[in-house]
Amino acid sequence: MRLPTLSKAVAVTAVVLLSLSCNFLEKTVPQAGGTPGAVLPSSTEGISGGMAEPTDPRVEGTLALRSVQMELRTVFPGEDGNRNLIFIDAAGNQRIETALPMSKDPTMTPEPPGWNVYEIFIVNGEAYTRTGKSGSAKPDPEQNDAISEILYNPAGPGMWLILLPEESFTSAGKESKGGFTAVKYTVEGSLDTGEIKGEFWVDEQTGALVRANLSLAESIFDPMDDSAGGWVTIDFKVEKADVPPISVP
């Protein structure tokens, strides 16, 4: 079972990747200094067989953080928001929690609390999953890189930080966010199919992305739909936390 994501994000991912693949290819060369827009090559399993998949150094910095909790909430027009909660302990072990969509049919038999919660436990680099917040988690190697996939898929901030050109980001001073002293950047940019605006914050010490509030034109996700005139919102935050040691239930 793959990580549950928003239905519309799943439906349009292929369209997004196809229409924006040229932007990926243009930005696979690393830039010095980790400035906004810089990209580092990752695995060789890229969007086009064998080509290095681009990553963002700020997101890679986030993935390296320890003793933190994260929250990613994404909302498409006309849909319920999807929320991922992520916990990382001092050893780097991880727990991810997301709620599966629930039926709004009032005639359905009520389910016990937590039945729709999907959890991923990544301990010593190995992933285990369960549904319902009870019982034993089972090995699920497909989820070994779950946090990376969450942050880089179209419902997360990583893809858009890669695709937008560097001139879309403007430094706007320093602020405290989630226990981090962070540099704020405003976002004013666009892709061929729509506008992206908002702001994000980068930890001054580690270069990690610790907060992002992005609004993306709905047309970016569904360029063939003339009625797609709303906004998709992506809210991501990281906070320092005393996370108890994570183990596999």
Domain ranges of the chain: 7-101+109-240
| pLDDT value at residue 2 | 46
User: pLDDT band at residue 181, thresholds of 50, 70 and 90?
Assistant: very high
| pLDDT value at residue 175 | 98
| pLDDT value at residue 104 | 55
The whole-number average pLDDT for the span 143-150 is 97
Q: For the segment 185-208, what is each residue's pLDDT rounded down to a tens digit?
A: 999 999 999 999 999 999 999 999
Query: Strands of 180-191's sheet, edge to edge?
Result: 138-139, 126-131, 117-123, 94-99, 82-88, 68-75, 231-240, 209-217, 194-203, 180-191, 169-177
- CATH number for domain 7-101+109-240, candidates 3.40.50, 2.50.20, 3.30.450, 1.20.1050: 2.50.20
How far apart are the C-alpha atoms of 6 and 11, rounded to whole Å?
A: 9
| pLDDT value at residue 183 | 98
Residue 144 has pLDDT above 70, yes or no: yes
- Asked if residue 158 lies in contact with residue 59, where contact means CB atoms within 8 angstroms, the answer is yes
- Model-wide pTM > 0.85: no
- Asked if residue 237 lies in contact with residue 213, where contact means CB atoms within 8 angstroms, the answer is no
| pLDDT value at residue 41 | 37
| pLDDT value at residue 11 | 44
